[in-house]
Amino acid sequence: MATSYWDQRVIQADDLVARAEELAEGEPGTEPARAAARQAVQAADALARDRGTAADLRRLGQALWRQASAFLVSGDPAAALAPARRCWALTERTLASVPPGSPEWGETVGEAVQRLGVIMPALSISGRPDEGQDAYGACQAAVHRSSSGGPRVRQAQARLLVFYLTAAADAYAAARVDGRWEQVADQAYLDMLAGRDAAAALREFAGDGPVEVIEVATTLRMVSRIATVAGELRQAADTLDEAIELAGTVARRGPAYGAILDGLRAERDGLGPALGERTAPEPDPGPGSAGGPGQPVRPGRGRGWRAGRRSRSG
């Protein structure tokens, strides 16, 4: 059966987007990665302009997201601004056009929140933090509009929480330094529990690929940082061990993943020798490792703070 004209163009655009994704993993920040991202945007843009189906616009949004990411990784935030803003414009348009409760809604919201990880830094570094906060608020509103709590909506909720936990960890550290810890301690313990729940929700999608695995590890990292500020050093260490084990399953997929693993290990070592050696085994980042893409990820450990500070004080 002959391939139609439009099918040929879709195949070409999809191949270029896949190539950009491949180089983003294998050669992040390089000129080949930037060139591949640029070619993917050109092909997806032409298809969206000439035909303009919902799938074409979604592909273009993905290509623009990847291009903005490529510029950020290569240290060129000024170049990342235009594709990031255009990516968000398309994403916002899609959120407005898909009805909540429709089969596509969960996927649409989850994708929008994932893109915030590139859109917000690109806007903030370029001196437009208010635009980034507007995008975050729009995604929050979209999640709240969800008429059902399907798996992709839960994924979107968990992804949003990671942005909050990242800022919260810094705020709690500042409160500890300023002598205000008792004012925020109860909320900090609640946030640790919420972070654990978010990590559990994100684990459902760890088999989708390395990005989703790193999302779980990043969530655990934020929980560990809050636990460290709270003085729960054993729990902080155990949680980092868990994140290290997860990140190790994808570390060989590309330098960016390896750098994340190195950062987690350095953070774990920084907790001090009093905690002894890592409790998690050194990960085997080779193919077929447990918890890698397409493989089950073991359930979380280290919930020793569930009774909260109240159990220790009374």
Alpha-helical (H) ranges within the chain are 5-26, 31-50, 54-73, 77-97, 105-125, 129-144, 151-177, 181-203, 210-229, 233-248, 255-269, 308-313
- CA 263 – CA 284 distance, rounded (Å): 17
Task: Tell me how far CA of residue 60 lies from CA of 23, 63, 84, 124, 154, in angstroms.
Answer: 18, 5, 12, 23, 25
Alpha-helical (H) ranges within 204-232 are 210-229
Q: What value does the mean pLDDT take over residues 64-70?
A: 97
Q: For residue 235, report the phi and psi dihedrals to the nearest 5 degrees.
A: -65, -40
Q: Which helix (H) or strand (E) holds 15?
A: helix 5-26
What per-residue string of b and e applies to 53-79 under the rule 16 or more CB within 10 Å gives b?
eeebbbbbbbbbbbbbbbbbbbeebeb
Whether 223 and 195 have beta carbons less than 8 Å apart is answered as: yes
Judged against a pLDDT cut of 70, whether residue 1 lies above it is answered with no
The tens digit of pLDDT for each residue in 15-65 reads: 999 999 999 999 999 999 999 999 999 999 999 999 999 999 999 999 999
Residues with Cβ within 8 Å of residue 167, at least 6 apart in sequence: none
- CA 140 – CA 267 distance, rounded (Å): 30
Burial of 7 (0-12, 13-18, 19+ CB in 10 A): exposed
Tokens found for residue 225:
């940082």
Confidence bin at 102 (pLDDT 50/70/90): confident
Task: Tell me how far CA of residue 262 lies from CA of 50, 255, 267, in angstroms.
Answer: 45, 10, 9
**DSSP states along 144-191:** HT-SS--HHHHHHHHHHHHHHHHHHHHHHHHHHHTT-HHHHHHHHHHH
Three-class secondary structure of residue 28 per DSSP: coil
Whether 297 and 203 have beta carbons less than 8 Å apart is answered as: yes
The pTM is what?
A: 0.83
Q: Which domains does the chain have, with CATH numbers?
A: 1-133 (1.25.40), 149-314 (no CATH)
Spatial CA neighbour of 192 closest among 176, 212, 175, 172: 172
The tens digit of pLDDT for each residue in 267-295 reads: 999 997 646 655 544 444 443 343 333 33
Confidence bin at 147 (pLDDT 50/70/90): low
Confidence bin at 101 (pLDDT 50/70/90): confident
